[in-house]
Structures are given as C-alpha cells and as structure tokens.
C-alpha cells in the first residue's frame, strides 16, 4: 500500500500527488499484511448494532468525569483536567521537555495507578529523570516496551488508571510489517490505543515528535483520531515553554500554559507578565516599550526591545526575534511613509523579551513605540504600556478584549496605557485608576509618548 505522509490517506498505487490532500511527493510505500489491511477498514469495535437517532434535546447531558492533574497550567489547557477515556496527543520537538512534563505530573498523582510505557529511554534513564524531579508516587510503573501486543499485556497485569505512551512513533504492532514510526504503524497503534481508552475509560496520553516542518512527523493522521492535541513549544535557548491546545474536544483551544524549565523539572509560571518585563534596575532606557498582548484569552504584558542605528554598510540590516519579520517591515514602511521617519537607511533590531513568539496584532503599537523610542533616543517612562493594531494608513485599529488588557495592565501596576481611539465603547473607565490615553493614529501615539 502507499500512504501519504502528510494526511495518511492510503492508495493501492503510487501517485505523485496525494489524491486526498493534494500534496506532492508525499506517498511512501509500506507493506501491509492482508489481515491488517482489512482490519483497519472495519469500524472500531466491529459492532454491527445499529444506533437509533435521538433528538438532541433528549440526550442527557453528563459532565465528563475529569482527573485533576497536579499542574494547574496543564489542567487549564486540557479544559479542566484529563477526561476519562480520552486520548490526548502531546507533541513537540525533541528535547523540549515532553517526557519531563508528563512524568512530573504523573509522579505527583499519588492515588492512581499509572503505567508509563517508554520506547525511547531505558528505565534507568527515566529513574534518573524522576530523581531529578523529586521523589513521587509509588503507584507509577515504568516499562520499556515497543511492541503494542506486549504493551497490552502489561496493561492487563498492571490495570493502570492512566496510560502514557512515550512516544507513539517508537511502538509497532506485529500485524504490520512496516517499521515503527511509519504512517501505517502509527495509525494502527493509535487506533488500538483509542479503542482501549474508549472501552476501559482509562485516559491515554500519547507523546509524539514533531518534525522540522512543525507537523507531527508523518502521523498528521493522529490529529483526527485523538480527542485533544497539545503542543509543547519554546526556544531551547530560553527556559520558557508554552503548552497550547491545538485541538480539544473537551475544552477551548485558546488556552495557554506557561512553564519554565529548571534544574529540577518544570516550574509553572502563573503570572507570566512579571517575568516578561525586565526591571533594568530602575533605569529608563530608550528602545524599550511594554505591550499588552493576549494569548488565548489570557492577557499579559510583554517587553519589546528595539535598537535603531545608522547602517554601517550599504544595505541596512533588519533582524527580528519573537515577532514576524514581514510584519516589522510593514510597520517600518508605515513609519517611513505616514509618520515621516527615515528608517530606510537604519539598521533595525527587534527583540521580544523572554523568547516568546507573539502573533497578536495588538503588539504592533508596542513594536512601533520601541522603534521610535530608540530612533529618537528618548526613553518611554516607567509604567507606560500600550496595545493597538497598526493599519497601512498609519491608523491605530481597535483590538479585542480591551477591558481585559486594561485590567491586567492595572493589576501589574502600570500607570498609563495607550489604546486605539474608539476601542472603549461601553467600558466603564471609572472602575480603573490607570490613566487611559486614546490614539487614533501613530502620530498621536508619538505625541502622547514623546511630546
């Protein structure tokens, strides 16, 4: 059989372009034994019992029973805990801390039997890691196994209440000839584990590796099999790690969990703003602006640093970390054309503190303010922050959830906030003591900041 590595579609013959998803050059050949091929097309559970359609209103609504995880950040991303009988895929680049995150959480659950299947590390390696994190539960069992059939035997003997498979790409079933990590194997193994989760209502956590392109290696297929896909990301050079839900059948996908990797495991960062704004020892520096951004529904305050200097060589340099480079170029063009700053001959460096990647357009105003501040070499006073999206005409456009941004800024002791004009609508400003400045255009914001 030929399988598409992008979407997992199968086809009896090779094709240059996947008939299902249209990607080029993604079909790979895999040997499938006759039994497995027909097995995978059977509905899960193989039951022939017909279900009778019911009116939506007649279906009793039951709250999904959830297992509360020790880490509150993880609970939030899961939508309130691990749902019984659900299957969760935790993806991330190698070395980002997936095994640490899961092991650390499991070791802190004392009253549940847990089976941790590791296909990647030896029991001693896992023990070393567990010791690093600290002594945990006596009910957490570890087995190094890569055969799916053997894993089910272990499940029978241990009868776990939570099952972890680290990683799905290392396990293989005997029914297929292909090697572990191939599309067919990943799909068969995940389907078997899914069936186990639904029948036993034991939650299953699958760990999966992400390849360079940022997709789960091959098994894109997994994304529609599983109930939730969590992604653990971060820059390996920095210690911050972000946990996002990409898909969640039992919760919102806009939640974000923040961790810090330390010597003794991951630490939850429950107030991200405090760590993202550096203090500079009370000194006011030019080129530093504070933006109020939103990740999911959680507002936080982020420091933008910029350095603008005369280009030493012919072509000016543009260097960005943590922000979209194209977007910065657009903002520079707006500054040049609409506000009249000649930045075309300057080197511009931009950095988002803490190694975070921010996609929220409301950070535009902070980026522009940092660049302008460095350009005129005037520091933005302490306690000032801002939020606003910049349009091509130089107007400052309204942003979402402005009330939350304002309250978060106030909570963190900010004294002044610049927001887009007309963004407030019904918000009752008398409830907050932070001074609110409205700006309709970049030029207005510039006047407010630098006079």
Judged by the rule CB under 6 A, the positions of this chain that interact with ligand TYD are 92, 94-100, 129, 132-133, 261, 263-265
Q: Which is nearer to ligand TYD, 86 or 100 (CB)?
A: 100
Cβ at position 97, least distance to ligand TYD in Å? 4
In whole angstroms, give the CA distance from residue 281 to residue 75: 36
Cβ at position 117, least distance to Mg ion in Å? 12
Q: Which is nearer to ligand TYD, 166 or 416 (CB)?
A: 166
Cβ at position 444, least distance to ligand TYD in Å? 46
In whole angstroms, give the CA distance from residue 255 to residue 73: 9
In whole angstroms, give the CA distance from residue 249 to residue 375: 48
- Judged by beta carbon distances under 5 to 8 A according to partner kind, the member of Mg ion, ligand TYD, none in contact with residue 388 is none
- Judged by beta carbon distances under 5 to 8 A according to partner kind, the member of ligand TYD, Mg ion, none in contact with residue 343 is none
Q: Which is nearer to ligand TYD, 216 or 368 (CB)?
A: 216
Q: Which is nearer to ligand TYD, 128 or 392 (CB)?
A: 128
The binder of Mg ion chosen from 5, 99, 104, 374 (CB under 5 A): 99
Q: Which is nearer to ligand TYD, 5 or 100 (CB)?
A: 100
Cβ at position 132, least distance to ligand TYD in Å? 4
Question: Which residues contact residue 91 at a Cβ distance below 8 angstroms, ignoring those fewer than 6 apart?
Answer: 98, 207, 208, 209, 210, 216, 229, 230, 231, 232, 246
* Six-digit token string for 253: 């996908």
Q: Which is nearer to ligand TYD, 268 or 389 (CB)?
A: 268
Instruction: Point out which span in 43-51, 96-104, 144-152, 196-204 binds Mg ion (CB under 5 A).
Output: 96-104
Cβ at position 394, least distance to Mg ion in Å? 48
Q: Which is nearer to ligand TYD, 263 or 430 (CB)?
A: 263
Sign of CA dihedral 326, 331, 332, 334: positive
In whole angstroms, give the CA distance from residue 180 to residue 169: 6
Give the Å distances, CA to CA, from 254 to 46, 67, 207, 242, 333.
36, 21, 21, 12, 31
Cβ at position 108, least distance to Mg ion in Å? 18
* Six-digit token string for 312: 């030493």
- Judged by beta carbon distances under 5 to 8 A according to partner kind, the member of Mg ion, ligand TYD, none in contact with residue 85 is none
- Judged by beta carbon distances under 5 to 8 A according to partner kind, the member of ligand TYD, Mg ion, none in contact with residue 129 is ligand TYD
- Judged by beta carbon distances under 5 to 8 A according to partner kind, the member of ligand TYD, Mg ion, none in contact with residue 12 is none
State which of positions 214-243 bind Mg ion (CB under 5 A).
none
- Judged by beta carbon distances under 5 to 8 A according to partner kind, the member of Mg ion, ligand TYD, none in contact with residue 265 is ligand TYD
Cβ at position 220, least distance to ligand TYD in Å? 19
Q: Which is nearer to ligand TYD, 122 or 201 (CB)?
A: 122
Cβ atoms of 112 and 141 closer than 8 Å: no
Q: Torsions phi, psi of 91, nearest 5?
A: -110, 160
Cβ at position 35, least distance to Mg ion in Å? 32
- Judged by beta carbon distances under 5 to 8 A according to partner kind, the member of ligand TYD, Mg ion, none in contact with residue 134 is none
Cβ at position 169, least distance to Mg ion in Å? 11
- Using CB under 5 A, list all residues that contact Mg ion: 99
């Amino acid at each position: 059989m030929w399988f598409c590595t992008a979407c997992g579609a199968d086809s009896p013959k090779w094709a240059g372009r996947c008939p299902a998803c249209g990607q080029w050059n993604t079909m790979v050949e895999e040997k499938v034994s006759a039994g497995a091929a027909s097995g995978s097309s059977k509905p899960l559970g193989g039951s022939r019992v017909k279900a009778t359609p019911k009116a939506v209103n007649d279906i009793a609504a039951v709250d999904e029973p959830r297992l509360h995880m020790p880490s509150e950040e993880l609970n939030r991303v899961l939508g309130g805990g691990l749902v019984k009988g659900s299957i969760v895929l935790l993806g991330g680049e190698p070395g980002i801390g997936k095994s640490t995150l899961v092991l650390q959480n499991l070791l802190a659950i004392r009253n549940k039997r847990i089976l941790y299947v590791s296909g990647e590390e030896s029991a001693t390696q896992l023990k070393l890691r567990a010791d690093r994190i600290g002594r945990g539960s006596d009910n957490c069992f570890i087995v190094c196994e890569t055969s799916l059939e053997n894993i089910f035997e272990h499940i029978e003997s241990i009868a776990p209440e939570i099952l972890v498979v680290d990683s799905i790409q290392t396990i293989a079933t005997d029914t297929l000839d292909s090697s572990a990590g191939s599309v067919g194997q990943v799909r068969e193994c995940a389907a078997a584990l899914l069936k186990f989760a639904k029948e036993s209502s034991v939650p299953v956590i699958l760990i999966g590796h992400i390849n360079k392109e940022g997709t789960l290696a091959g098994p894109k297929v997994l994304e529609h099999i599983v109930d939730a896909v969590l992604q653990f990301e971060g820059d390996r050079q920095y210690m911050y790690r972000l946990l996002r839900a990409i898909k969640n059948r039992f919760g919102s996908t806009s939640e974000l969990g923040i961790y810090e990797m330390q010597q003794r495991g991951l630490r939850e960062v429950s107030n991200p703003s405090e760590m993202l704004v550096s203090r500079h020892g009370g000194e006011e520096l030019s080129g530093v602006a504070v933006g109020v951004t939103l990740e999911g529904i959680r507002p936080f305050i982020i420091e933008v640093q910029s350095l603008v200097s005369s280009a030493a060589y012919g072509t000016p340099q543009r260097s960005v970390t943590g922000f979209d480079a194209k977007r910065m170029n657009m903002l520079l063009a707006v500054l040049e054309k609409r506000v009249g700053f000649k930045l075309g001959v300057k080197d511009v460096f931009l950095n988002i503190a803490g190694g975070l990647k921010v996609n929220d357009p409301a950070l535009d105003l902070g980026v522009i303010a940092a660049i302008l501040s460095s350009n005129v070499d005037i520091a933005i006073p302490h306690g000032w922050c801002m939020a606003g999206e910049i349009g091509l005409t130089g107007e400052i456009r309204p942003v979402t959830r402005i009330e939350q941004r304002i309250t978060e800024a106030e909570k963190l002791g900010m004294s002044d906030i610049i927001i887009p004009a007309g963004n407030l609508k019904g918000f009752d400003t008398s409830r907050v003591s932070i001074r609110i400045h409205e700006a309709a255009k970049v030029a207005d914001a510039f006047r407010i900041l630098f006079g």
